[in-house]
Amino acid sequence: MAYQILGNGVPFWRLIGRGVGVGALLAAVAIYILGITSDPRLQSLREVALDISAPVTGILGAPLRMVRRGADDAGEFLDMAAYNRQLRKDIVGLSRWREVALRLEAENAQLRALNKVTLAPRFDYITAQVVGNSGGAFTQSITINAGRAQGVRAGTVVMDGTAAIGRVVALGENAARVVLVTDASSRIPVQLKPGDIRALLIGDNTARPKLQFLSKPGNVVKGQRVLTSNHGGVFPKGLPLGTVDALVDNVVRVAPSADFRQLEFVRLVIERVDLTIDSDAVLIVRADGRVEQERPARDAEDEE
């Protein structure tokens, strides 16, 4: 069988072409196997690709984003009357909630004052632009224009305005790849409120990820809020993800709160680490609660 694609011409070159073709095919099989096993050797290649593709897709996408924004604006303009009606209804509901929130805030401040609690802000935020999507039908991920240089770390949680949408899985110098909660590889420990039910939110490349390993499966009801729990230490506790949407054939589905179609800017939640601990240092907790490090003797010698 003479394959055109493997090279033509005299038999010698055809033989060489076949050898190269078979070699390339074997290399592709090897890359596929390495990809399945998440081999770290592929990671550096992906980081290079991320740093190259992020600015290019950012530039290519600018005119297309403008067109899309124009189309969205035109659509909203046409629906303006309906929007106004909905907004008036929302304002009535929200003003009631505002009263409740103000009352709770005052109560919270009183209780904190009684207990002498000083809460330090635990998180910093970085805002980044979405410059690329996965482009494939099998992956739900986005590329953002913030990376190592901006203080992003692997595992950093990413939110839209209000809800968690995913976490950083690959880092370039000025770009990062975020796997969305709907991706087939996404696994997030969650808590259902009310009811305090623990579960695992598992993405399956559909719009509504499913809940598995529920601690109290009988207590799950539609409308329960799904929040992150810090089991596993990747996600901070209490970030909203969505609500329980449906229970079909014993599979609990969650409707994410984020609108993935409108993602243009995202917020990265950077957990603040105030205390850096030297691996050789001794940690001392003082009687007044202060925490200090006692550095090893070799450091003192080095300084001298």
Residues that bind another protein (CB under 8 A): 3-8, 17, 20-21, 24-25, 27-36, 42, 45-46, 49, 53, 56-57, 60-61, 64-65, 68, 130-143, 177, 180, 182, 184-185, 204-207, 260-261, 263
Euclidean distance between CA atoms 33 and 92, whole angstroms: 57
Question: Which one, 204 or 234, has the nearer CB to another protein?
Answer: 204
Question: Which one, 51 or 247, has the nearer CB to another protein?
Answer: 51
Q: How far is the CB of 154 from another protein (least distance, A)?
A: 15
Q: How far is the CB of 31 from another protein (least distance, A)?
A: 4
Torsion of CA 295, 123, 181, 217, to 10 degrees: 90
Question: Which one, 148 or 210, has the nearer CB to another protein?
Answer: 210
Question: Which one, 142 or 152, has the nearer CB to another protein?
Answer: 142
Q: How far is the CB of 46 from another protein (least distance, A)?
A: 6
Q: How far is the CB of 163 from another protein (least distance, A)?
A: 13
Q: How far is the CB of 126 from another protein (least distance, A)?
A: 18
Q: How far is the CB of 158 from another protein (least distance, A)?
A: 12
Question: Which one, 36 or 287, has the nearer CB to another protein?
Answer: 36
Evaluate the CA torsion angle 251, 255, 261, 265 in order and state its sign: negative
Euclidean distance between CA atoms 301 and 269, whole angstroms: 39
Question: Which one, 178 or 197, has the nearer CB to another protein?
Answer: 178
